[in-house]
Structure 1
Amino acid sequence: MQTPHTLLALLLSATLPLAALAADPPPSAPATGAGPIAEAAGERCEAAVTDTIREMRGDDGRQVQFVRARRSVLPPVNDETDVKGEGSYRGGSAAARPFSYRCAYNVKSDTTSGVVFKDIGPARADSGAETRWQPDLTALSPEACEAAVASVLKSKHPRVGRIAFGSDSRKLRAATNGRTAMEGEGSVERAPGMNLIAFSYACEYEPRTGKVVVARTTP
């Protein structure tokens, strides 16, 4: 015959496993932007941004650093993901200047494109004309420029076949009348069956609307 003490012991032994399960927290979900793809995208884009800053800022961009906690990598769509983040650059003994950036990364080809950065700190007193210029990136569309360039090529070569743009060759610079210019390189098949030839191109954007107002190619 079971005593009251025996019944109490049995009840406690039955409930202890349940209590232990309730005390254990559920496994945490992986952090946003974690994983090998996100890591590769971040590293490749930061390398591309570093090259862009050093090319556009010269000696003022010799030292480039990134804030890892500010990096954001979106899930890939059609093998391409967007990377955004922040960092700072400096040259010599000058104070560091913070910036934000964004970049596209293709998972399949392990390449970057559409690299842009924007200073978000105060202007330096010793900045020259090239350093003072900052493009307004909110309305600039590389695709609009490439579409305009394709139209120019079709006018030059009515039987044009393929047109390919090198997205990693895109560069921004200041143009006349407050415009922003985008320059790049590509290749074109002037007629089906002909060999591809290289060309360079340039577009100019209207500063307020971002509309492409000039598009030209060489040759």
Structure 2
Amino acid sequence: MASSSHYQYHKDDDDDDDIFDDLFENFIPEPKQRKPRIFIERNREEGHDQLWNDCFYDNPTYPHNLFRRRFRMNKALFLSIVHRLSSEVAYFQPTQDATGQSGLSPLQKCTAAIRQLTYGGGADTVDEYVRLGETTARKCLHEFSAAIINLFGDEYLRRPTAADLERLLNIAEHRGFSGMVGSIYCMHWEWKNCPNSWKGMYSRGTDKPTIVLEAVASYDLWIWHAFF
């Protein structure tokens, strides 16, 4: 009798396990399979050669005035920035992958960053010409901005001294702009962490509070700024 009860007990356990397995299979979704990453062969080396011939060759495709418009600076200044970054910042130094193929050149990375800053477009807008993807273009912009602040901040991004102002005023007067120290530009920056009690004073008719950034740049690209 005891043996029969023991057998019935185990049989009921097996039935319960089968029911639980059926419920588990029916109600628990199967994990989604990760989609494979799509590789795009962008021919980076050919992109570098095209960029070099278009803008930096001895007899480039596009003349100086077009370079100045698209890069917002003259060619000599841009090349000096590229040289400093490729010499002193690891991210902008030339590299090779495991197959021996050259990575993106310093010119391509710096051009991608400058084009985004110049035109204010999305990171994917430089893909077809500079030959790099959206994520890489965004990283180029971040690394470029950080490197500029680190390498040139102490010299060009600082408060003016009395000697600086006197020099700039003298140059401006000589050029026929008496009393001028530089060109002024203002823009609104969203204040993400603005205290709730202050939002009404900074919203300026919009839902999001902003702070005005005023930047002053001299003829030699010496810049200072202020928030208000």
Alignment TM-score > 0.5, same fold: no
The answer to which structure has the higher strand fraction is 1
The answer to which structure has the higher helix fraction is 2
TM normalised by structure 1 equals: 0.23
TM normalised by structure 2 equals: 0.22
- If you compute each CA radius of gyration, which structure gives the higher value, 1 or 2? 2
